[in-house]
Every structure is written in structure tokens, then in C-alpha cells.
Structure 1
Amino acid sequence: MNTLGLSLIMKMGCFCSREIIYVNNTKYEIKEKLGEGGFSTIDLVENTFTKKRYALKRIICHSIDDQKIALQEIEYYKKLKHPNIIELIDSTFKGSADIVINATSEVYMVLPYYRRGTLHDYLEIRSFTKNYLDIKEILRIFIDILRAVKYMHDMKPEALAHRDLKTSNVCLTDGLSPVVMDLGSVAPAKVQVCGSQDAQKLQDIAAERCSMPYRAPELFNVKSYCVIDQRTDIWSLACVLYAMCYFKSPFDAVYERGDSVALAVMSGKINFPEDTPFTQDAHDLILFMLKEDPTERPFIDDVISKSEEYRRALENNV
């Protein structure tokens, strides 16, 4: 065989080879990249023995604080067991526990793979032809999301908030059941802010970990003396419901134009399309949650109650 032929074979071999990852004693082959965020990458992987596919989340840590945040996420996966919250299959930590200058470590999390993708993906496909979801289907999915959030808000001894609820953080099963994912932003729901330093710290965390078009107004401009609670999630849920009706958050257009999302959110005003297949009842449910003043915003039990009441009314009218 000539040198050129051998060179081509070697190049093809390199091109076709797949990266292998070990999580504890299990060997996974990386198939393709599914997504990338500010703090992590998600790959589609295959267990080389069972041939079953999973999503592998990899977080690169550049500091001890990064490690703590990533390991805390794993603890939340282990703690939160609900049919509408994603489960953790396996996890491992690679690297030094004491990061030195310019060194990094990695945290791997093996999660279920949902071939339908996210609610965001599903809505985006339907948006191309303005194929609106039926309101009954919207409520079915939305109420299951609410139940997952209620489970977090009712957690003992300390209530938890997701802090980054959005359509791209909800996976869909083959049967279109929602599964809330990405617990990297989860935190104790109630935060007592005492002074400008506390306020700035929380505001900075929100800017890093809470997506703008779904972020509650009190997280854009945190007051120096206040209490932030789980009702940040209620605002985000209103944006999710709006997106389920109209394919995008009410503040996505502002974000895409490059205008100030903070000003739009803090005004508390949203517009509904004039040409709509949805009744005022659907809009009222969104507005019920979308209160600019968090003290006027309902808690999760009231949102579930109102959503189920609306669904019953629809069923009785058939």
C-alpha cells in the first residue's frame, strides 16, 4: 500500500472514531452534540454495552465555587423525585478537588434522552405554520409542569425554586408529557436580602442563571431590603403558558429586537395578538400569574386550582 493510501485510511479512521467517556464503570460513546449553554454542554451518548442512549451533561469547573455549584446540582437531582422532573441516571466528578491556577475539573451527569427534544423545539416547529396547540392540550401539559413545580415549592424542610423555568428547560416524552430539566439554577426559594451587597449578589446570580425573557421583575432590580420567594417561578410559568399559546415568551420579541427586556418586564405590560384562537379565559390565566408586584402574585396551589377549574369548564362545555 502506498503512503497516500495509508494516509487516507488513517485520516478516515480519525474522522470516524468516536470519543469514549467513562462514568464510573460504565462506558459511553459520544454520538453527537445536542446543545451548549454558558456553563455546560449536552451530548447524545450510547452505552456501549446496552446500546441505550442518554444525554450526557458536562460541566467544566474553573474554580472551587464552580465545583460546589455543579455538585449541588447533582444533590438536587438525587433529592427531587417526581415523574415530571428529570431523573439522574449516574454522575461522576473528574479532576482535583482543590483547583490550582489554570487547572480545571469536570462534572459528568448521565440523564435520560428524550428524542422529541424540548417544549421549545416542539413549539418552534409548530410556529412555522402557526399550528396552534389546542387549549385542552396546553392545559394538560401545563398542569403537569405546575405539579412538578409544586413538588419543589413544597419541599421540606426548605422550599426550593427552579429559578429558570422556560420552554427549553422542559423536555417532552414520546407521549408529550412534560419533564422539567436543568436543575443548575435551583436554589432555596426564600431569600432574605439585607443590604445592597446581598442585593447585587442575587442580581448577578440571576443575570447568569435566569433567562431574560422568563425572568421575574424582582430579579432584574433586586431591592436592598426585601424577601425573594418561590413566586419568581410563577412569573416564569406565566411566560411559559404564553409561549405555549403563541410560540414565544411575551418578552422574546423585545429581546430579539435588542430593546431593554428589563424595562419591558418591570412595566408588567404584555400584548396579546389580535388574531388569536384563544379566549379571554386563557389570557386571564396568564395575567393572573403575571403580576409585576411579587406580593400580588399567586402561589403555586392557587395557579393549579385556577388551571384545573379552567380545564373542567372546557370539558363541561363539550
Structure 2
Amino acid sequence: MKACDFKIIKNLGEGTFSEVYLAENHTSQYPEHKLVALKRLKTDNLREEEIMQCFDEIYLLQRVKNSENVIDCLGAFRESNDFFIALEFADNKDLEYLFNEKRQNGLLFSERSIWFYFHQICAGLKELHEQRILHRDLKPANIFLTRTGKAKIGDLGLSRIFSLKTQLAKTEVGTDYYLAPERNICFGGYNFKSDIWALGCILYEMCTLRSPFNGEQRNAYALFKRIEICHYPPVPANYYSRQLKFFISSCLSIRPENRPNAEQAHSAARKMNQKFESLRAKFKKQFGK
């Protein structure tokens, strides 16, 4: 792959280290991906460890190839001082964008819609954890959506591989609202169950359109204290099932060992999705809607 293989259409967004463009794929590879998200890393102002973060993302994504629920990495190349990664393009923005649309229109998700998206997020996380990949920055902005109804986990730039011998990580990275209590370095480290905490935060936000710990925007200490004691407002009392509320509380257990693992979370979420899809099918059969 090289720069002339792609025609940039527009800028999709910018991150701390990179820009992302929508581009036409003119290579003979991956003909099913006519449009790609081309991620450009400007290396001239970056430290070596930041450049290596980009290489890590490629390696991680290529370990989960052709996934239904993880963004596919098509390839990478370097040109002058810039490094490019060609990624599968999700053509319906991301979950955070969808949350903002709901807020602006004064709408909440139906429980059926929640389980429809959430069981896919769980499936993607299960695949990552099966490959010993800890995401470390799971949040709505990193859940990408397609027009065919797929939800895909992306942006693995903060991920790392846990070897079979690795027990705990201690690096302070991620987005504050979704950090588990043990992510505070004083607590001695974290593991895969920290991703499950973030999963619980996402599920809560799907119900309320706000982070469970939103509100402490200027005071990092106050935010961490709320997270440390797991204090958050209840979800709407009569709108969602007790199973959904139990799932949130299980994922947001202060003690990591009390949270489900990714396989258990996926199994439970898939069953709830099947239940609501079955109810919908019965309703359509009975009322023709």
C-alpha cells in the first residue's frame, strides 16, 4: 500500500496523535472495501513511544481479522514523515454521535434497541479478550456503527496484549468517566475486568444518555471518589427491565472479581437480545406492525 492507492474525500476527525480521513480505496486488495477510514499519524512531533503506539494498534487489529464486531485493519504504510493505517470504514458514525442525537431530540433508547447494540459490543469485547487484548479505552466514541446495524469496537491505540503470564497493568491511560476504581495506580493495577467496568458504564449511558459519573467535569478528585464508591443515579425506574439494571450493577461492582468476564457478559446480553427480538416477532405476527 502507498498514498497514491487512496483518494482522500474528507476529514472525519482528529485525535491527540492523528487525523482520520474518508478515502477511496484504489488498490486491488479488499475490493469489498471501496471506502476506508485512512488514519494518518504525524510522526515528526511525536516521541518514539507514541509512534510505537501506532504500530501496536496495527498488530492488535490484525490479531482480530474479519470480525463481525471489531473494526478490520486493511493495511499500513509509511510516507515521508507520516504513517498511515487503512481501516474498515463504519458508515454510520459512532455510538457517542447516536447518544447526542437522542439527547437533542429528547428521546431514550427502547430496551430492544439497547440489547441489539449492546450484545454486539459484548461480542467484540469477547473476541478481543480471547486474543488476550485489553482495550483500556472502551467508550461510546470508540464504538462504530454501520448502516446495516453492526456495532464494531475500534481505536485500539491504547490497548495492550496481556501475555499469559501478565496479571496486572499499571499504566494510567483511558478516559476518566469510564475508568474502573482499580485503574487508580494506588490500587495496584488492573486487568480484563476493567474493560467490563467500562462496558457497564456504556450500558448505563444507553439507558440514561449520560455517563454514570458525569457531573464532576472540573474536579478530578471528586470524580474519582464517586467512582471509588460507585455512586451514580438510578436508571429510569419503570422504563427498563430488572435484568438490565442487574447487568449494570454487576459490571459496576467495585470488586473486579465480582464482575462477569467478557464471555459471560456476551452470553447474557445475547440471550436478552434474543428475548426482545422474539417478542418483537410475536408482536409483528399478531398486529402486523
Q: TM-score range by the shorter chain?
A: 0.7 to 0.9
Q: CA deviation at 1:274?
A: 4.6
Query: Residue in 1 aligned with 2:48?
Result: 64
Give the equivalent residue in structure 1 for 2:261: 299
* Alignment partners' CA distance in 1, 2:26 and 2:276: 48
Aligned to 2:11: 33
In structure 2, what is the Cα distance between the partners aligned to 1:141 and 1:284?
18
Name segments (4+ residues, structure 1) moved above 6 Å.
48-51, 256-259
Shift of 1:74: 0.9
Among 266, 277, 280, the alignment partner of 2:228 is 266
> AA paired with 2:73?
L
Q: Over aligned residue pairs, what C-alpha RMSD do you find?
A: 2.7
The amino acid across from 1:180 in the alignment is I
Residues 150 and 70 of structure 1, relative CA distance in 2, 3 Å threshold: same
Change (3 A) 1:107 1:143: same
- Helix, strand or coil for the counterpart of 1:54? strand
Unaligned runs of 5+ in 2: 283-289
Deviations 1:20-70, CA, capped at 9 Å, x for gaps: xxx526433333221111122112223468994322111223232222221
Q: d(CA) in 1 for partners of 2:40 and 2:248?
A: 35
Structure 2 equivalent of residue 24 of structure 1: 2
The SS at the match of 1:185 is coil
Q: 1:272 to 1:111 in 2, by over 3 A?
A: same
Q: Is the 8 A contact 2:250 2:258 kept in 1?
A: no
Structure-to-structure mapping, 1:110-189, within 5 angstroms: 110-155=86-131, 159-189=132-162
User: What is the rounded CA distance, in whole Å, between the counterparts of 2:14 and 2:263 in structure 1?
Assistant: 34
Matched, 1:94 2:79: yes
Inter-partner Cα distance in structure 2 for 1:85 and 1:113: 11
Are residues 135 and 256 of structure 1, via their aligned partners in 2, closer, same or farther at CA, if it must alter by over 3 Å? farther
Alignment identity in percent?
A: 23
- 1:46 paired residue number: 24
- Normalised to the residue count of structure 1, the TM-score between the two structures is 0.76
Distance 1:258 1:163, change over 3 A: closer
Deviations 1:77-101 (A, max 9, x none): 2111211111112311235xxxxxx
Shift of 1:257: 7.9
Distance 1:220 1:150 in 2: 24
In structure 2, what residue type is equivalent to 1:69? Answer: Q
Which is bigger in relative contact order (C-alpha 8 A, separation at least 6)?
A: 2
What is the aligned residue count?
271
- 1:272 Cα deviation after fit: 2.0
Rounded to whole Å, the distance in 2 between the matches of 1:167 and 1:248 is 11
